[in-house]
Structure 1
Amino acid sequence: MTLKLYHAPHSRSSRIISQLFEMDLMDAVDIIHVTIPRQDGSGGRDPNNPHPEGKVPLLVHDDITIWESGAIMQYLTDLFPDRGFGAAPGDAKRGLYLSWLYYYGDVMEPVIVHKYAELTHPALQTTFRGFEEMTERLANGLKDQPFLLGDSYTAADLLVHSPFAWFADFTPDVPVIKDWVARCTSRDAATKTMEFDADLMAAA
């Protein structure tokens, strides 16, 4: 079995690096450092990156290609269910786990980007909901429990908390959410990921 992750430091693919640290899989995956266009105008598309849009993350498992963070996270937790970082098929929390992974990409990220860009329109509100509704959903999901699936930190928490780790000012001013983000960002894997990315940047 060959696993390759196409990764650019300090990007969305850093979440997958954190997942690999959490699952103790860094030695099982070849990390291929590629460049990507950055919002500040730096970087550029890397010809060595097979992603059709030149983005990251991209996971290649033998002849299978997987893109999008949520899909990669689910794929890895399903591929290595013994690592206990998700909810495998048959697990009572499988539906909740998948719902949070897909909620992130389908609702949360669009809502946060719209807020960042100061975009408002009834069609956006109707399709994706708004920041207030997103905040309420998160607060209800974390009520009376430390993580989204209960007592255990999973890939769902890693993915869903990530925009607040990058943009702390966007973290809702709600105690259960702020405490959850703090728990997520203080994990050893988060520190190791920052160190890993810093080493990649220094070597580039």
Structure 2
Amino acid sequence: MTDELVFYTHPMSRGRIVRWMLEEIGRPYRTELLEYGTTMKAPAYRAINPMGKVPAIRHGEVVVTETAAICAYLADTFPEAGLAPPPGDRRRGPYYRWLFFAAGPLEAAATNRMLGVVVPEERRGMVGCGSLEEVTDALEQAVSGSDYIAGDRFTAADVYVGAHIGWGMASGSLERRPAFERYWERVGNRPAAIRARAIDDAPMPAQVQPAG
């Protein structure tokens, strides 16, 4: 079994988050660029992800889809990168909490806003995200308590949460607040984040080798 790491993506997709994560772990990976409506929906890729969506990774015989799951998998599979609190560490709780808060309530509430979906007040209890205001307040509190989302150390949760905050402020789906801007300044200017953006913003080669 080969342990080759293959990354399936499109430069204008949530794959940008996974690209950042891959650059953080610093392991060689091969990129397969897919196009919406064609190669992304072709049988060859549907064998990887039946949804026909990116991103996805294949690590040897292991396939992982869903951006937050990919980040968590890579952090645990390559512990030498130090991107996840070790099992038993008290930071493991907030690490999981905010990683999946961003994948659930934050993404749902932000998407509702972008689509103009308004959940009636009397039905907010039926949706997991409640309201965008509640989500935004909770997130602001989370990034205000310490330098990083799970304590004093950068983790994969900061990749995922940070990417959502950076994109949300840029797109208008998330209110700009001083706490968000300070947090994004800290995490968004990491060398791996800058490298990842440069790769996705430029014409890409068939194979990418992380620098360093």
State the TM bucket, normalised to the shorter chain: 0.7 to 0.9
Which residue number corresponds to residue 16 of structure 2? 14
Matches for 1:1-204 after TM superposition, within 5 Å: 1-25=3-27, 27=28, 29-37=29-37, 45-47=40-42, 48-49=44-45, 50-122=48-120, 125-126=124-125, 127=127, 128-167=129-168, 168=170, 169-200=172-203
Deviates more, 1:94-103 or 1:194-203: 194-203
Assess if the C-alpha contact under 8 Å between 1:19 and 1:158 holds in 2. yes
Assess if the C-alpha contact under 8 Å between 2:20 and 2:197 holds in 1. no
Q: Aligned partners of 2:98 and 2:50: how far apart in 1? A: 26
**Residue aligned with 2:152, SS:** coil
Offset, 1:112: 0.2
Offset, 1:45: 3.0
Comparing both chains, which one has the higher relative contact order based on Cα–Cα distances under 8 Å and sequence gaps of 6 or more?
A: 2
Assess if the C-alpha contact under 8 Å between 1:6 and 1:56 holds in 2. yes
Long gaps (5+) in structure 1 = 38-42
Q: Aligned partners of 2:153 and 2:161: how far apart in 1? A: 14
What is the root-mean-square deviation in Å for CA atoms of aligned residues?
A: 2.2
Assess if the C-alpha contact under 8 Å between 2:102 and 2:164 holds in 1. no
Assess if the C-alpha contact under 8 Å between 1:77 and 1:88 holds in 2. no
Q: Aligned partners of 2:188 and 2:147: how far apart in 1? A: 13
Offset, 1:144: 3.4
Offset, 1:89: 1.9
**Residue aligned with 1:5, SS:** strand
Q: Aligned partners of 1:186 and 1:196: how far apart in 2? A: 15
Q: Deviations over 1:116-172 (max 9, x none)?
A: 111112376322211111111112212231210122222111111223322423343
Question: TM-score, normalized by length of structure 1?
Answer: 0.86
Q: Aligned partners of 1:82 and 1:174: how far apart in 2? A: 34
Identity rate, percent: 27
Question: TM-score, normalized by length of structure 2?
Answer: 0.83
**Residue aligned with 1:150, SS:** coil
Q: Aligned partners of 2:181 and 2:50: how far apart in 1? A: 36
Offset, 1:179: 1.0
Assess if the C-alpha contact under 8 Å between 2:40 and 2:54 holds in 1. no
Count of aligned positions? 196
Q: Which runs of 4+ in 1 moved over 6 A?
A: none
**Residue aligned with 2:202, SS:** helix
Assess if the C-alpha contact under 8 Å between 1:148 and 1:156 holds in 2. yes
**Residue aligned with 1:152, SS:** coil
